[in-house]
Amino acid sequence: MNRKILEDYLNSLEQCGIPGCDCAVIYKHEQVFRHTVGYADAERKKPLTDKNTYWLYSATKLITCTAVMQLIEKGLVGLDSPVSDYLPEYGNLKVKTDNGTVPAKNKMTIRHLMSMQSGMNYNLDAPSILRIKKETDNNATTRQVIEALAGEPLDFEPGTHFQYSLSHDVLGAVIEVVSGQRLGEYFDEHIFRPLGMKNTGFELTPERKSNMSDLFTFDTDTMTSRPVSNRNRYVLTKNYESGGAGLISTVDDYLLFLDAMCHGGISKDGYRLLSMESIDLMRQDQLKETSKEEFDSWGRKGYSYGLGVRTLVEREKSGVRSPLGEFGWDGAAGAYALIDVTNNLAIFYIQHVLNCGYVYEVIHPRVRDLTYEMLGL
């Protein structure tokens, strides 16, 4: 195995303005590659280590959608059931039109939420959110925020377009209602503890805070990064647990989750996180015509969108080295998760740099293809 090709590439990223990154590869339940390079602080005094914590941002969505699939397996949630079966306030939704708002014709379903076809948007300053934050002195719970959000008119009829949104935050509230637990409690009981993930959660504990990498923002024109406040703006209130972007984790912890997923839902210790049937359903293309064109505008060549994941649907024209059905997602600060059940392979790459289009356009595809080249797959 020629580790050097991937190591050299990761080492070169500092020249592209990436202060530090960590990348690991799991293959058949074994960590066959790990390379950590750069610094965790703007002063370049603290080298990145395997102890560093990061905001996962949207890599949280993979875990939230896995939890929903667990509830679907148990018959507690229906994929095509109306969201209003679980959150009654979502039974009287309105839709924006050229002539003002009108009652929605289509019922919003769990599938619509998972596949980002709900009609919702990602406006964190929506009037309903600002109002509930003010009314609760910034202490609103996940359930309270999501209940308030139902008052916002949809951008389109559910099921008619693809639009990245707060849909997976709504799924977090569904999980809470169905399980009777807070979202973090459900994750702990059914995902984190069984997998041995001891350093993942919504709470910024003193230990997680002290180990957290500085957060940066990227300037595309100069290809440089500068430090910014290490605050996750998707954590809307003090008590809000965002199923879309709120988790904190380490590379070692998140790898335990990916390891189970790339082995058909079974961890190295034998814990069944999901059935293979559920994983197949997650990576099934959910987009048609208009929605597919809208996802294509994201530039993920060869991919479409499934139930909370990008999924590889075409290899020939895109030149992607991974097999059809490879799936995963990424995060706002540059996290990247790849799950390949064909080869029992998973990749996790992380950096802590916001607004870095370069990471999605160049770094993630390069890390993916170099990994397959390195392993001879």
The pLDDT tens digits for 50-103 are 999 999 999 999 999 999 999 999 999 999 999 999 999 999 999 999 989 999
Residue 66 forms part of a structural domain = no
Q: How confident is the model at residue 111 (pLDDT cuts 50, 70, 90)?
A: very high
Residue 152 forms part of a structural domain = yes
Residues 171 and 295 both lie in one domain: no
pLDDT attached to residue 59: 98
pLDDT attached to residue 242: 98
Q: Above 80 in pLDDT, residue 311?
A: yes
Residues 273 and 66: their CA atoms lie apart, in Å, by 8
Q: How confident is the model at residue 319 (pLDDT cuts 50, 70, 90)?
A: confident
Residues 254 and 353 both lie in one domain: yes
Residue 318 forms part of a structural domain = yes
Residue 46 tokens read as 């603290």
Residues 221 and 77 both lie in one domain: no
Residues 359 and 278 both lie in one domain: yes
pLDDT attached to residue 317: 75
Residues 333 and 223 both lie in one domain: yes
Residue 212 forms part of a structural domain = yes
Domain that holds residue 84: 72-179
Residues 167 and 276 both lie in one domain: no
CATH number assigned to the domain comprising residue 81: 1.20.58
Residue ending a domain, among 139, 156, 179, is: 179
Can you give the pTM of this predicted structure? 0.97
| Chain segment 40-61, per-residue pLDDT in tens | 999 999 999 999 999 999 999 9
Helices 364-375, 4-12: axis angle to 10 degrees equals: 160
Residue 65 forms part of a structural domain = no
Residues 12 and 229: their CA atoms lie apart, in Å, by 26
Q: Above 80 in pLDDT, residue 147?
A: yes
Residues 229 and 216: their CA atoms lie apart, in Å, by 8
What is the DSSP code (8-state) at residue 84? G
Residues 340 and 232 both lie in one domain: yes
* Residues 184-193, mean pLDDT to the nearest whole number: 98
Residues 90 and 192 both lie in one domain: no
Mean pLDDT of all residues belonging to the chain: 97
Residues 351 and 356: their CA atoms lie apart, in Å, by 10
Residues 279 and 305 both lie in one domain: yes
Residue ending a domain, among 152, 179, 206, is: 179
CATH number assigned to the domain comprising residue 28: 3.40.710.10
* Residues 222-237, mean pLDDT to the nearest whole number: 96
Q: Above 80 in pLDDT, residue 107?
A: yes
Residues 121 and 28 both lie in one domain: no
The better pLDDT of the pair 280, 300 is held by: 280
Residues 152 and 248 both lie in one domain: no
Residue 67 forms part of a structural domain = no
Residues 317 and 195 both lie in one domain: yes
| Chain segment 193-205, per-residue pLDDT in tens | 999 999 999 999 9
pLDDT attached to residue 375: 96
pLDDT attached to residue 284: 98
Q: How confident is the model at residue 4 (pLDDT cuts 50, 70, 90)?
A: very high
Q: Above 90 in pLDDT, residue 316?
A: no
pLDDT attached to residue 210: 96
Residue 266 forms part of a structural domain = yes
If one counts the domains in the chain, the total is 2
Q: Is the dihedral of CA 260, 265, 268, 270 positive or negative?
A: positive
Residue 238 tokens read as 């003090």
Residue 31 forms part of a structural domain = yes
Radius of gyration, alpha carbons of the chain: 20
* Residue whose entry in the numeric block shows the structure tokens 């060549």: 301
pLDDT attached to residue 207: 95
Taking 3-state DSSP, the helix, strand and coil percentages for the chain, each rounded to the nearest 5, stand at 35, 20, 45
Q: Above 80 in pLDDT, residue 257?
A: yes
Residue ending a domain, among 151, 179, 207, is: 179
